[in-house]
Structure 1
Amino acid sequence: MMYSAAQFLSEDDTLEQAQLNKLERICQKLALKPEDHLLEIGTGWGSMAIYAAQHYGCRVTTTTLSREQFAYTEQRLIELGLQERVTLLLTDYRDLTGEYDKLVSIEMIEAVGHRFLPTYFKQCANLLKSNGMMLLQAITIREQRYAQAKRNVDFIQRYIFPGGALPSVAKMLDIVGSDTDMNLLHMEDFGLHYARTLRLWHDNFKHAHGKLAELGYDEHFLRLWEFYLCYCEGGFLERTIGTAQLLLAKPDALREPLLGRFNA
């Protein structure tokens, strides 16, 4: 179960397959190895941590602030017998300590807020070894609209994600360059894949209306979330917002061979 952009490698890909494509691509970009210790900031429902541990054999430490997601992921780890390989924390990323080989953060940065972007990137850099790498997936806003977006409260901030804020690619790279010792190795934008993801979520949501009504969700709730899903799909189709994966590297990682790890 995931609530971030999937990556469709063919027209025939199901939503489930496209989400697995995303996880695999992230692991390839990070060049995960069994001896790596991967830190994940933003556990979600545990899919990234579980995939990395199962398919790449690495140790994973993953942290969340959601008690519901913590409980759900904890149960999944027990069912899969991964408690020894995956450490699950209920901790603010700013309170984390230690050094890790790799770091991943999937669509968590939108909850950080404009003011704390420098803090976020500094902490990520501090948590990586000198040859470490970070893969960040983020929903982004066009640079030309960034200043205006900082001043305004839109539909999503008011009704869906209070306190949420979309960064621009330029703003993130500016902070990475001025506040950390990391460098950009690779960037990929796949916003149109998010539009397709949202369309499939919308289809699934409509098919579940009956079950949702049985659970007590009223017509207002259903219409609000249908509008949200369509609103976001339109934003990605119009390229007002995008989805970026940034591969960032610490100084010593730049000395290692990086080409050929994945299809650019």
Structure 2
Amino acid sequence: MTTISIPAVRLPARPRPSIRAEVARRILTAVAGRVPVDVRLPDGSLLDGGSPDVDVRPVLEVVRPDALYRRIAAHPKIGIGEGYVAGDWRAGAGTDLAQLLLPFAERLTDVLPPALTRLRRLVDRPIPSAHRNSLLGARRNIESHYDLSNDLFAAFLDETMTYSSALFDEARPYADQDLVEAQMRKVRAVLDLAGVQSGTRLLEIGTGWGSLAVEAARRGATVTTVTLSVEQAALAQERADAAGLGHLVEIRLQDYRQVRGTFDAVVSVEMIEAVGEEYWPTYFGAIDRVLRPGGVAAIQGILMGHDRYQATRHSYGWIQKHIFPGGLIPSLQAISETVEQHTELRVTQVHAFGRHYAETLRRWRRSFLASWPEIYGPGFDEEFRRKWEFYLAYCEAGFDAGYLDVAHIRLTRPSRGGVA
């Protein structure tokens, strides 16, 4: 028998994780030890080495550990969200995604050891200059979200097509209430706050799909409403005409900075978050410019605490990259300081209702997932589904935890006699 000698084959060594990825693993391990969540690795063990708390704690299943560590190492603020979208991790069986994210949101200010928190400025990245809300940039930023498809939004919003927090009746459990009723309660509350009635000349900054403009016209107001979304403007016009109120509602494809004229009242629902800090003086200045003496403005805005606003105002996060380019959530203090320094407007009334937004987002996410078979198609693939599921759950957790808030804010412009 002839013996054939086969040379030994040296298998390539398994790539060693980078130093940054190893640091990311250690940071994630430290976080897992400080949050009541079981972070489960593919072999069933827990990342922090503890014992599973069966049927008590939410479970985060890591599917591809090395990929997740690399993402977090590359961009700590964006890597977790991008890891979910890519499938590097998921909520464990029986764990709701928003409930999984809630413990992290509740401990957002102290989830990292103090020594690591002090290094935040070394990993924070500035908001890209391409996301600035210049006249051209604002149109591009709005189109990237609101012009995705009217059919997409119709699939998960209620019949009012209202894409902002509802206002539920505090006397009854939120979960028992109809979303349409709660959204119309919100619309009426904004109009009441601005004193809109028959004969009011009303400017709306940010049309949405027209529900507020149509309701104002039903009161007998003459409405001018501006938007940068072609899709929204077309459907809003259809809805105003269908209600027989098209003669009272003028819908303009126009930037708020370009509006001229004088109005008795100005309303703007969840527009301030899209303006960008650089343009807050311009935004409130535009309201101040067009509002008659003694007029009233009412805005609905998402807010965060002033300390958190200051800590995050120059950093670039997952929501800004993937959902709302150019956006920044203000604090109430930041709004008050801006209007006092740059306008004659003054904040005279605030009503906060953040938990209502958590319930609104729960409804939207439930409808989005239930409607996914109808949404799925060109431009809306599984990656898009995971992105929007994470976005809705992430925001829901933020409002449930109180990290985020939403409020109705009344701004008055003094009359010539000095009385608002």
What is the TM-score of this pair, normalised by structure 2?
A: 0.59
In 2: Cα distance, 1:182 partner to 1:162 partner = 28
In 2: Cα distance, 1:14 partner to 1:119 partner = 37
> Any unmatched runs of 5+ in structure 2?
1-160
1:103-122 equivalence runs, <5 A: 103-122=266-285
- Secondary structure at 1:243 match in 2: strand
Provide the residue aligned with 2:123 in structure 1.
Answer: none
Structure 1 residue 216 displacement after superposition: 5.9
- Secondary structure at 1:133 match in 2: strand
Structure 1 residue 175 displacement after superposition: 1.0
1:24 has 2:188 as partner: yes
1:2 has 2:162 as partner: yes
1:1-264 equivalence runs, <5 A: 1-9=161-169, 10-11=172-173, 12-54=176-218, 56-214=219-377, 217-252=380-415, 255=419
In 1: Cα distance, 2:197 partner to 2:179 partner = 27
Which whole-Å deviations, capped at 9, do the CAs of 1:17-64 have from their partners, x for residues lacking one? 11001011112212222011110000011111011111x111111000
Provide the residue aligned with 1:259 in structure 2.
Answer: none
Greater mean alpha carbon deviation, residues 2-11 or residues 209-218: 209-218
Structure 1 residue 75 displacement after superposition: 1.5
Greater mean alpha carbon deviation, residues 146-155 or residues 171-180: 146-155
Structure 1 residue 163 displacement after superposition: 1.1
In 2: Cα distance, 1:217 partner to 1:176 partner = 40
In 1: Cα distance, 2:193 partner to 2:396 partner = 26
C-alpha change, 1:216 and 1:42, in structure 2 (3 Å) is closer
In 2: Cα distance, 1:30 partner to 1:163 partner = 28
- Secondary structure at 2:349 match in 1: strand
- Secondary structure at 2:298 match in 1: strand
Which whole-Å deviations, capped at 9, do the CAs of 1:79-107 have from their partners, x for residues lacking one? 22222111111111001001100000000
Which portions of structure 1, spanning 4 or more consecutive aligned residues, are displaced by more than 6 angstroms? none
Which whole-Å deviations, capped at 9, do the CAs of 1:149-183 have from their partners, x for residues lacking one? 11211111011111111111100000111111112
Asked whether the equivalents of residues 281 and 338 of structure 2 are also in contact (C-alpha less than 8 Å), the reply is yes
- Secondary structure at 1:252 match in 2: coil
In 2: Cα distance, 1:186 partner to 1:152 partner = 30
> Any unmatched runs of 5+ in structure 1?
257-264
Structure 1 residue 78 displacement after superposition: 2.0
In 2: Cα distance, 1:242 partner to 1:233 partner = 11
Greater mean alpha carbon deviation, residues 85-94 or residues 206-215: 206-215
- Secondary structure at 2:246 match in 1: coil
Q: Give the letter aligned to residue 95 of structure 1.
A: Q
- Secondary structure at 1:81 match in 2: coil
Count of equivalent residues: 255
Which whole-Å deviations, capped at 9, do the CAs of 1:102-135 have from their partners, x for residues lacking one? 0000001111101110111111011100010000
Q: Tell me which of the two structures has the higher relative contact order, counting C-alpha pairs closer than 8 angstroms and 6 or more residues apart.
A: 1
Answer with 1 or 2: which has the greater Rg.
2
Structure 1 residue 189 displacement after superposition: 0.8
Provide the residue aligned with 2:141 in structure 1.
Answer: none
What is the TM-score of this pair, normalised by structure 1?
A: 0.93
Structure 1 residue 214 displacement after superposition: 5.0
Asked whether the equivalents of residues 190 and 299 of structure 2 are also in contact (C-alpha less than 8 Å), the reply is no
In 2: Cα distance, 1:178 partner to 1:2 partner = 32
Structure 1 residue 217 displacement after superposition: 2.2
In 2: Cα distance, 1:216 partner to 1:118 partner = 36
Q: Give the letter aligned to residue 201 of structure 2.
A: H
Instruction: Identify, as 1 or 2, the structure richer in strand.
Output: 1
Q: Give the letter aligned to residue 179 of structure 2.
A: L
RMSD: 1.5
